[in-house]
Chain A
């Protein structure tokens, strides 16, 4: 059904259709509309999940971990400071292989305090063992959440779906919202897997103590499983494309262009929309866009495939490793090392909600073709 929906509303309706058993969150701008909607659905009897008020994001993450180990599908959402606060638990969730799904409404981090969009929050926890997906618009926000549960439950790894705060959460878009029965077919009821949940009939010990003799092997297994989950992410994307008739590609990256472009701009999230707008204006020369949809596990082969023949690669980041360069830029450089012969340059944009105008994209397109190699912070 086509609807004009605010991003947050679209996400909340999607989560409701995924039928989680436990929902718990703590309010933080700009995630609030999502959790308020979920509370409203519950209060109106339109949903049956346990809706638990958490007294902090740390508690919210802990509650959904408990809910997951207790044997049900779970959901939480947060942003910025909240994500950072729950970081200890996020690592723990991944280590315990709990298939938690979390929405991060991407927002800048303190200090100074800022409630507007950038992606610093999510990328900061890229090492935690979570699968991380980025939505470029509200349609993708819907689609990625549906796929997130399926992926998480198949590979037993938690999945974070990222959408740009305010830019997506608080804007209205014409989206296709699936019907409940379509969702039920794609995402059946949560399956309890023996030994993977707390059960007095099958008592198991979770979150045990591991010494140097056994810890490293287990962490490698986790790391390998995260890397291998790329296959499942692609499979689920393919299945989604077939069932919902909306092309998801390989679920990892999307290339927008003819394939012959020598200048490629790389980015993730809603900024791709602005880049497409610039790409489509006739006054500009052509550049290709490589959209990164799946940031963890990082799609190494797919990135190399598209960037291999580029002469100039501008990596556009809404996050930075302070003192160094953009975080996506570092990933691209690492993957492209010795393979991508062209120049790869890091461009920082939109930090703390600073506007990313078509002119900024135009400036990047011009600068990357120059000789400079340094990290460039771009202002409108």
Chain B
């Protein structure tokens, strides 16, 4: 039995759940970033399972401030590097969907407005997982979370996922992309590509969550693929505002193929009305991006 040497930039021993889609993504993100980088992390699962004093999984210089401000702290770090004459070290800000779509939204917009060379990576598991699976601006319509639970009166989340991709494009970002944990090498490629673009760049990664979505712990990659194949989570790449790459759906799968593995959608499978809404979300994505 052979084993590859472990990734020194994000070492084993952290306490993420077995099968965590986000930790898998972080493995590939850190590999693609290399060591000449400073990472600014928002509050969330990623900092909790990786930085419990006095151990750390991070092989790169890394800072966690508060929930809202990875983008602000990143701005300051980059400015300090400029002052010290350092033109090579990259600054990357990252956080979950809660930090990105909701509480840190204003500060991300400010960072994007300033036009600095900072890559922002959103690990999107579609809810506030670290605090126990509460709904966020990224929670898809119909999903059950603890604050958008499915009950007889209300069948799960009534809101629709915030379109951060369009918001990033509206800020004039020269590189905006989406991918999922289903395609680890695509994650690496996109991180590397993002770093070649000037100004702020944005990468959003769908990262399945074992306890939050209620799926089997070996399903993160499969679900990452199914999300794409059903049209529910388009894999896209925009350069200078133009869609230059997308993952076309060669063998389209019905949304139920994706939903059926997840407890958070259990109530949807019997609910024709809700299922129709989700099918429409998928259909619109396919049409909009030509998948």
B216 within 8 A of A: no
Contact B65 A207 (CB under 8 A): yes
Interface of A is mostly: mixed
Could you give, for residues 180-214 of chain A, a 1 whenever the CB lies within 8 Å of some chain B CB and a 0 otherwise? 00000000000000000011101111111111001
B277 within 8 A of A: no
Contact A71 B75 (CB under 8 A): no
Contacts of B56 in A (CB 8 A): 205, 208
Given contacts A21-B80, A203-B35, A209-B47, contact A65 B73 (CB under 8 A): yes
Residue in A53, A55, A198 whose beta carbon sits within 8 Å of that of B61 in the complex: A198
Could you give, for residues 12-34 of chain A, a 1 whenever the CB lies within 8 Å of some chain B CB and a 0 otherwise? 00000000011010000000000
B191 within 8 A of A: no
Contacts of B106 in A (CB 8 A): 55-56, 58-59
**Size bracket, chain B contacts:** 35 or more
Q: Given the complex of chains A and B, what is the CA–CA distance between A279 and B126 in angstroms?
A: 66
B196 within 8 A of A: no
Contacts of B51 in A (CB 8 A): 205, 207-209
Contact A208 B77 (CB under 8 A): no
A84 within 8 A of B: no
A335 within 8 A of B: no
A346 within 8 A of B: no
**Size bracket, chain A contacts:** 35 or more
Contacts of A59 in B (CB 8 A): 69, 71-72, 75, 106-107, 110
Residue in B41, B61, B71, B76 whose beta carbon sits within 8 Å of that of A22 in the complex: B76
A64 within 8 A of B: yes
Q: Given the complex of chains A and B, what is the CA–CA distance between A203 and B65 in angstroms?
A: 17
Q: Given the complex of chains A and B, what is the CA–CA distance between A60 and B61 in angstroms?
A: 22
Given contacts A21-B83, A209-B47, contact A66 B89 (CB under 8 A): no
Contacts of A58 in B (CB 8 A): 68-69, 72, 106-107
Q: Least Cβ distance of A48 to chain B in Å?
A: 8
Q: Given the complex of chains A and B, what is the CA–CA distance between A58 and B66 in angstroms?
A: 11
Contacts of B64 in A (CB 8 A): 206-209
Could you give, for residues 26-63 of chain A, a 1 whenever the CB lies within 8 Å of some chain B CB and a 0 otherwise? 00000000000000000000001110111110111111
Q: List 19 A-B contacts (CB under 8 A).
A: A50-B80, A52-B75, A52-B79, A58-B106, A62-B68, A66-B74, A68-B76, A70-B76, A70-B81, A71-B81, A88-B68, A198-B38, A200-B36, A203-B35, A203-B60, A207-B47, A208-B47, A209-B53, A214-B54
Q: Which 8 A-B pairs have the closest CB atoms?
A: A66-B76, A70-B80, A62-B72, A55-B110, A207-B64, A62-B69, A66-B73, A21-B83
